[in-house]
Amino acid sequence: MDNGSANLGLNFFRSPCEFIAGAATVDSLPPISLPEIAFIGRSNVGKSSLVNALVGQKSLARTSQNPGATQQLNFFSIGERLMFVDMPGYGYAKVSKTQKGIWDHLIRFYLAGRTTLQRTFVLVDARRGLMETDIAFMDMLDETAVNYQIVLTKADNVSQKDISAVLQSTKDALKSHAAAHPVLLVTSSETRLGIDTLQEEILPFVLK
């Protein structure tokens, strides 16, 4: 008899979710426990919305139309078998230099050292494609050997033709990033486009 994990399907993402911890400093990171999936990207790119879309909820993670909504690393347990880590965005102009430095250190410390981190999704706005801050962040991930996968967000705002162009230019750019996963994902938290595919990508990491 198996324990049910062999049959784990996308219904897993409907498991009860719980806010576990918010860490604004390295010292307040929760102890390692479950496999973790991190969501990072420019401020306002749709990280918290994507976390909500993945678990089919509206307000597990706080979202806002104003950038700078997420101010710490927020840990959410899904069915006590997986942890989503929703991060503060980079590239937010209104944050003080001191605060930027603290987040930068915290995010680097977490990404480079967290032994339970399974996958880092770097979110990129499908309307804009890769921007300078994204490239700089990806360079840092390459240097610290943290594997990551690009997820285009807000695809509902973009025509199919423009998506194809952004996909192509992003794919070309990834060739010079050693730690980038070659497969790009296109999503919309609004229409749920690509959410199933992203769930499929995450499923192998769920605690068996």
Ligand X SMILES: Nc1nc2c(ncn2[C@@H]2O[C@H](COP(=O)(O)OP(=O)(O)OP(=O)(O)O)[C@@H](O)[C@H]2O)c(=O)[nH]1
37, 38, 55, 69: which one binds ligand X (CB under 6 A): 69
State yes or no: residue 48 binds Mg ion (CB under 5 A): yes
**Token couple for 79:** 């069915």
Report residue 74: phi and psi, to 5°.
-100, 125
Would you say 187 and 193 are in contact if contact means Cβ atoms under 8 Å apart? yes
Q: Is 70 in the site for Mg ion (CB under 5 A)?
A: yes
CB of 48 to Mg ion, least distance (A): 3
187 binds Mg ion (CB under 5 A): no
| Cα radius of gyration rounded to whole Å, the chain | 16
CB 72 within 8 A of CB 19: no
Position 74 contacts ligand X (CB under 6 A): no
Among 34, 70, 75, 185, binds ligand X (CB under 6 A): 70
The verdict on 69 binding Mg ion (CB under 5 A) reads: yes
Among 25, 144, 157, 168, the residue binding ligand X under the rule CB under 6 A is 157
- Our finding on whether 63 is near ligand X (CB under 6 A) is yes
Q: Does residue 90 contact residue 137 with C-beta atoms inside 8 Å?
A: yes
22-30, 57-65, 101-109, 174-182 -> range binding ligand X (CB under 6 A): 57-65
Tokens of 134: 């994204």
Contact assessment for residue 129 and residue 154, using Cβ atoms and an 8 Å cutoff: no
Distance between CA atoms of 90 and 87, rounded to whole angstroms? Answer: 9
Residue from 17, 36, 49, 170 binding ligand X (CB under 6 A) = 49
Selection from ligand X, Mg ion, none that 149 binds (CB < 5 to 8 A by kind) is none
| Residue 54 in tokens | 């993945």
Contacts with ligand X by CB under 6 A lie at 43-49, 63-65, 67-70, 88-89, 153-154, 156-157, 188-190
